[in-house]
A and B are shown apart, each in its own frame.
Chain A
């Protein structure tokens, strides 16, 4: 792990990975959307409304995946003081927040025609909303301090504390009666979803993950640059005050 904590090595690695991850993102999102919107069959009960699933479900996965990634980076930053881990956690937060928001919006649009309501305070929907608030809280906290060190530390602790919400989201549909249906893909006994519909779903999920890798590398690069600028400015101020 320590080998990758070096910013110079990260920059080199980012240069190599970026073309591949953006290629995978474009291809799998392109094919995925084509399958999802045109080539896949309508559902036997829900008709064409089922196509919302191809955005909704991968977004929900991304919301949880990004949170786990953010918490893991935060743990690395707290325990091993990796210089890069804080920056990567910070870079992941807005991506996770955006996908969580997308999941809630598409879920609401799907809920109205299928369930008959835009929103229900059941355990799955509520825990997903809490996830969005955790992201927003993290982003607010990390920017709330003048000293970035302190902001990173406080936000990392929040990220770790909020991580208990992730298993609650995943198993809320099994632990309590919810309006939301139980898991279709990641469950005991294999997916309860036809292969012709599983393919676009997985393609979309792959595309979203590749997109996250791209954003992580780009934002990571930008954060490193910002830190360098900060150090140079500090040195200039220091030099100027000594020169007097």
Chain B
């Protein structure tokens, strides 16, 4: 084996070992790398009252009620929904059927009191006319995702 080959194998081996180590670490701490939980996680894991967290999902159709600055709505992943209360300015993209991430805590009244509402947008980009044409022809899938 020449010195060049030895260096090549040494670098390759190093990269593979490092890659494996990083993969293991990332898998191990995967839970804390998640930016938000889904409503199903919240319902199934029975997260205690008062713990600060983020929930991500879609704003349920027909659930938004506005009263001055106070808003209540339900955040859903189709399977489960969590009721949310928020007082403040909503982002431009906030609307029913749209993905959002809310940050706050579940209080004693069973509502999730959000201190911050962030809008999520999906990976689809198209001009208005195309969106309307798709809706008209029935090929529109709403861009809805449980995430």
Interface, chain A (partner B; CB < 8 A):
41-46, 50, 53, 75, 78-80, 113-117, 120-123, 160-161, 163-164, 168, 175-179, 181-184, 187, 192-194, 196-197
Q: Which of B43-51, B66-74, B104-112, B127-135 contacts A (4 or more CB under 8 A)?
A: B127-135
Whether a CB of chain A sits under 8 angstroms from the CB of B118 is yes
Does B78 sit within 8 A of A, measured CB to CB?
Answer: no
Interface of A is mostly: loop
Q: Does B75 contact A (CB under 8 A)?
A: no
Q: What are 18 A-B pairs with beta-carbon distances under 8 A?
A: A44-B130, A53-B125, A113-B91, A115-B93, A116-B117, A116-B118, A120-B35, A123-B33, A123-B35, A160-B11, A160-B14, A164-B15, A177-B147, A178-B35, A182-B122, A187-B123, A192-B123, A194-B130
Q: When the two chains form their complex, are residues B125 and A43 in contact, meaning their CB atoms are under 8 A apart?
A: yes
**Bound form: Cα–Cα A181–B147 in Å:** 10
Pairwise interchain contact A164-B127, C-beta atoms closer than 8 A: no
For the complex, give the distance between the alpha carbons of A50 and B124 in Å.
11
* Option from B34, B36, B127 in Cβ contact (under 8 Å) with A194: B127
> Is the CB–CB distance between A168 and B127 below 8 Å?
no
B contact set with A: CB distance below 8 Å: 4, 7-8, 11, 14-15, 18-19, 22, 26, 30, 33-38, 56, 89-93, 101, 116-132, 147
Task: Report whether over half of chain B's contact residues are helix, strand or loop; otherwise say mixed.
Answer: mixed
B35 and A44 within 8 A (CB): no
**Contacting residues, chain A, for B130 (C-beta < 8 A):** 44, 194
Contact B126 A44 (CB under 8 A): yes
Contact flag A75-B11 (CB < 8 Å), given A113-B92, A114-B119: yes
Provide the residues of chain A in CB contact with B101, threshold 8 Å.
Answer: 179
Across the interface, which residues of B come within 8 angstroms of A120, CB to CB?
35, 118
Which of chain B's residues has its CB closest to A197's CB? B125
Contact of A114 among B4, B8, B11, B93 (CB under 8 A): B93
A86 to chain B, nearest CB (A): 14
Closest chain B CB from A210 CB (angstroms): 24
Q: Is the CB of B123 within 8 A of A44?
A: no
* Bound-complex Cα distance A168 to B116 (A): 28
Residues of chain B with a CB closer than 8 A to A182's CB: 122-123
Contact in complex: B123, A43 (CB < 8 Å): no
Q: Which residues of A contact B34 (CB under 8 A)?
A: 176-177
Point out the residues of chain A lying under 8 angstroms from B35, CB to CB. 120-123, 176-179
